[in-house]
A and B are shown apart, each in its own frame.
Chain A
């Protein structure tokens, strides 16, 4: 009665894993149990069982390879560096376009305030122009909503990547953001900095002066 023995052994192993890990079990742990079960059972099996267990074994190999491939994608880096950086940049775009839109509207309102000082025809023409400016400013609302939608999608991806990292029981790297070493001129092409990390002109001047 090899199968009964196998069931019992499997139950014991699963109980031990549950006690240790709860309901969240790493894929590597599952592969390890399958491999170990196959090793202990080989002598007791007939041809049909062997075929079945070879299938299970190839499934274990498949899981193992998938894990290696996912690890090679460095999901921790995707979550902690790329997605976090992308959402910060998008938030900065919304902030910058909102500030610029308000400045444009300030100027249009100042222009409008000059209307009483002009003759009627010029004042009317200017009102038409400021109306066009206000209409054009509606782009900020639409842009903001679109970007907010993209940020929400990125956060969803981030959550799924995090679940993936958890499913692997922390075996996949999950390091935080790291400053990359500057090796080539291209490494210096960082683009505009986020407001929180950007140096202002006074800081740049101080840095330049420090070389004197």
Chain B
């Protein structure tokens, strides 16, 4: 099934600059419907009222981290099937294991490039041009 590039994508990061970078990279990949949240709790509120096809989230944020957000999403019947990609500088194997156990769909280590983002998105959404 073709990937719907008109889907709403929620990006979550406490660094405004990183939100801007990811938004620009998504735009170049053809995803223009992008919303932003600056921590997990803000993201959760947006997810509960919106209709999102993908979550791309940082880990290290306050007050709610990306891992806590992931757990909340996976525990919520309405949200649990949304693909969740963690984009983070946390690169220890224990972090990856914890994220995987919490139900992460894929994991990108910062710094990353557009090709990595595209590859990881394809792996959770299906191939797209």
Contact = CB atoms under 8 A, between A and B. Distances in A.
Contacts of B110: 138, 141-142
- Kindly name the residue among A101, A135, A137, A142 whose own CB sees the greatest number of chain B CB atoms within 10 A: A135
A145 B113 CA distance: 18
Contacts of B20: 102, 105
A141 B89 contact: yes
B28 A140 contact: no
Contacts of A140: 15, 17-18
A135 B17 contact: no
B65 interface: no
Contacts of A131: 25, 28, 114
Interface residues of B, number: 16
Contacts, number: 53
B24 interface: yes
Nearest to A98: B17
A115 to B, nearest CB: 10
Contacts of B89: 141-142, 145
B24 A141 contact: no
B112 A109 contact: no
A131 B21 CA distance: 9
Contacts of B60: 145
Contact residues of A: prevailing secondary structure: helix
A127 B15 contact: no
Contact of B25 (A109, A134, A139, A144): A134
Interface residues of A, number: 20
A127 B28 contact: yes
A141 B111 CA distance: 8
Interface string A32-76: 000000000000000000000000000000000000000000000
A209 B60 CA distance: 51
Contact of B114 (A102, A135, A139, A142): A135
B28 A138 contact: no
A101 B24 contact: no
Interface in A102-160: 102, 105, 108-109, 112, 127, 130-131, 134-135, 137-142, 144-145
B15 A135 contact: no
Nearest to A127: B28
Nearest to A140: B17
Interface in B5-54: 13, 15, 17-18, 20-21, 24-25, 28
**CB-based closest 6 A-B pairs:** A138-B111, A141-B18, A135-B113, A134-B24, A131-B114, A141-B15
Interface of B: 13, 15, 17-18, 20-21, 24-25, 28, 60, 89, 110-114
